[in-house]
Amino acid sequence: MNSALDKKTLFDKIWDAHVVGETGGESSILYIDRHYCHEVTSPQAFDGLRKRGLKVFRKDRTFCSPDHNIPTKHQDRPISDPVSRNQVETLRRNAGEFGLRLFDIQDEHNGIIHVIGPETGLTLPGQTLLCGDSHTSTHGALGCIAFGIGTSEVEMVLATQCLLQSKPKTMRINVEGNLAPGVTAKDVALYIIAHMTTGGATGYFVEYAGEAIRSLSMEGRMTLCNMSIEMGARGGMVAPDDKTFEYVKGREFAPKGEEFENALKYWKTLKSDEGACFDMDVAFQASDIKPRVTFGTNPGMGIAIDEFVPEAPEDKAAASSYVKALDYMGFKPGQKIEGSPVDYVFLGSCTNGRIEDFRAFASIVKGRHKAESVTAWLVPGSQKVLRQIKEEGLDRVLEDAGFELREPGCSACLAMNDDKIPEGKLCVSTSNRNFEGRQGPGARTILASPLVAAATALTGYLTDPRIFLSQD
């Protein structure tokens, strides 16, 4: 009979299986199974290799795709913005010089790196997976250790396929019970972050568990793990199950045949042992979660859509930043922001740019029409999502409702491409961050689910999607 010391968390199992050396200090040498590169954080890393005369150690483990800087209209034309064009062209040159697989603009695999990894079968259970991007945590939805790294670390992985890393603490967040109609994974994420605060999981790697988590689709789990970073976590993960295995099976780069069956035997062992000890355990009830929105300038400043903006905290320093955030957003304590006029709606990003998100949006707007006062940007997370939208006829549903479908990319999640929200305008966004200027200088952002975004796009003001669900 195993002692309590023999029982491991899912995180411990994967981590321990990938440690290939110890430094004698707090850091371990961790082997990396998969490495993703986009155009923003990789140029200096490749320059570092060049200066030291090094090659990429495991070319078959690194995959590249431009996403942050690419336009979402007229992708068949040269990129007009010189900064964005240089970023993308630099990635092309680096991938070519170092012999790496590049999913370039208009390639059938191109898209946001955190969307294309899972959908192509490159992201698999049990992996260690890195990218020079904080939202690499998305991939943990498939039961792997995935987290973002800095540019110098990108260079280290390119050169050695290893990373020097200290082991984080572990946290389990249980969400028990059933989610109500109209409540999505995005609402679960925003609810958890509001309660944990933006620093409440700092230093931890989070495993999400419980009935409500198991009920989520794979896309929903990706949304949840994506947002882990917004409460300070190193990453987030969900134990793989039959839903995960069915999702992976048959994907282009996933194992096939006997290789898949052998992998499956290992994947089925990837769960926390009963009685395994986490450094922190947190529990929430699914019945307490309603459709959520943010009212401030960080993802933790959120409320249920039918609630009122809270009063400022008593702590003077916290109150000062709180008031500053509300001033920026144009809201006041005690105000109900439901019903606030909205200028822009953005559906997309690595948080909510998957086919399930477009299905949800279309389910609300079908047979209805967009408000004339709203500018809506609907941006698929990948070329594959765009193809699925068309194959399922969702493009016609959206067009009939007055919406225009754009081409894949990070788009209005962040102001690094042409899709910038104008100064002072209010945008309901399905992305992951609502910092000052995140979507453009002076832009104001309310984070929400695809259902809230769809309902808002129809009315022209912040709207609870449940009013439309009750009509269907």
Give whole-number Cα distances, 32 to 29, 46, 340, 365, 407, in Å: 10, 18, 46, 43, 32
Rg (CA), the chain: 22
pTM here is 0.97
Does residue 224 contact residue 189 with C-beta atoms inside 8 Å? yes
Residue 160 to residue 39: CA distance in whole angstroms: 20
- Interval 373-390 mean pLDDT: 98
Does residue 173 contact residue 208 with C-beta atoms inside 8 Å? yes
Does residue 279 contact residue 169 with C-beta atoms inside 8 Å? yes
Question: Nearest Cα to 172, choosing from 196, 147, 149, 191?
Answer: 196
Does residue 405 contact residue 378 with C-beta atoms inside 8 Å? yes
Long-range contacts of 383-389 (CB under 8 A, 24+ apart): 383/106, 383/107, 383/108, 383/109, 383/110, 383/111, 383/408, 384/108, 384/109, 384/111, 384/116, 384/119, 384/120, 385/111, 385/115, 385/119, 385/353, 385/354, 385/355, 385/358, 388/355, 388/358, 389/355, 389/358
Residue 129 to residue 164: CA distance in whole angstroms: 14
List phi, psi (to 5°) of 414.
Answer: -150, 155
Percent of the chain with pLDDT over 70: 99
Q: How confident is the model at residue 6 (pLDDT cuts 50, 70, 90)?
A: confident
pLDDT in tens, 102-126: 999 999 999 999 999 999 999 999 9
pLDDT of 26 reads 87
Q: Is the pLDDT of residue 3 over 80?
A: no
Does residue 430 contact residue 357 with C-beta atoms inside 8 Å? yes
Token pair listed for 460: 């022209």
Residue 22 is inside which H or E element, if any?
strand 19-22
Token pair listed for 412: 């209005």
In eight-state DSSP terms, residue 142 is G
CB crowding 313-325: b at 16 or more within 10 Å, else e: eeeeeeeeebeeb
Residue 340 to residue 338: CA distance in whole angstroms: 6
Average pLDDT value over all residues in the chain: 97
| Helix locations, 74-184, DSSP H | 82-98, 113-120, 151-160
pLDDT in tens, 437-466: 999 999 999 999 999 999 999 999 999 999
Does residue 112 contact residue 382 with C-beta atoms inside 8 Å? yes
Q: Is the pLDDT of residue 58 over 90?
A: yes
Q: Is the pLDDT of residue 2 over 70?
A: no
Q: Which of 16-30, 75-89, 430-444 has the lowest mean pLDDT?
A: 16-30
pLDDT of 470 reads 80
Q: How confident is the model at residue 315 (pLDDT cuts 50, 70, 90)?
A: very high
Q: How confident is the model at residue 1 (pLDDT cuts 50, 70, 90)?
A: very low
Residue 21 to residue 349: CA distance in whole angstroms: 37
Q: How confident is the model at residue 471 (pLDDT cuts 50, 70, 90)?
A: confident
Q: Is the pLDDT of residue 472 over 90?
A: no
Placement of tokens 């990373």 in the chain: 163
Q: At what angle do helices 113-120 and 218-226 cross, to 10 degrees?
A: 150
Does residue 203 contact residue 312 with C-beta atoms inside 8 Å? no
Count of C-beta atoms within a 10 Å radius of residue 409: 31
pLDDT in tens, 265-313: 999 999 999 999 999 999 999 999 999 999 999 999 999 999 999 999 9
Q: Is the pLDDT of residue 92 over 70?
A: yes
First to last CA, the chain: 55
